[in-house]
């Protein structure tokens, strides 16, 4: 069973050294979408410069989803 996007746990990675999308704008996006924001000392593409940190965020999100699925 799939849940709607409105009921999912959201994560957003803010690149604090991003020169493409200003970090303040990224923070605004994260807040507006109700996401947990993770700030990394990276540029616009953190999955290339800090892949370990990105996978940590993904794993954290997966654990939250798994816990919610087990509880349901």
In the chain, % of residues over pLDDT 90: 69
Asked if 42 and 21 touch (Cβ cutoff 8 Å), the reply is no
DSSP letters spanning 12-63? EEEETT-SSS-HHHHHHHHHHTTPEEEEES--S-HHHH-HHHHHHHHHHHHH
Domain ranges of the chain: 10-71
pLDDT score recorded for residue 6 = 61
Q: What's the pLDDT band for 67 if we cut at 50, 70, 90?
A: confident
Rounded Cα distance between 15 and 48, Å, is 12
pLDDT above 70: residue 20: yes
| This prediction's pTM | 0.79
If you count them, how many residues does the chain have? 72
Higher pLDDT, 22 or 2: 22
Residue 44: which pLDDT band, with cuts at 50, 70 and 90? very high
């Amino acid at each position: 069973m799939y849940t709607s996007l409105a009921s999912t746990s959201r994560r957003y990675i803010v690149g604090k050294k991003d020169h493409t999308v200003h970090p303040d704008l990224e923070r605004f996006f994260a807040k507006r979408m109700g996401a947990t924001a993770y700030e990394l000392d990276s540029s616009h593409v953190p999955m290339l410069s800090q892949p370990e940190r990105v996978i940590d965020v993904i794993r954290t999100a997966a654990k939250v989803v798994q816990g919610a699925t087990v509880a349901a």
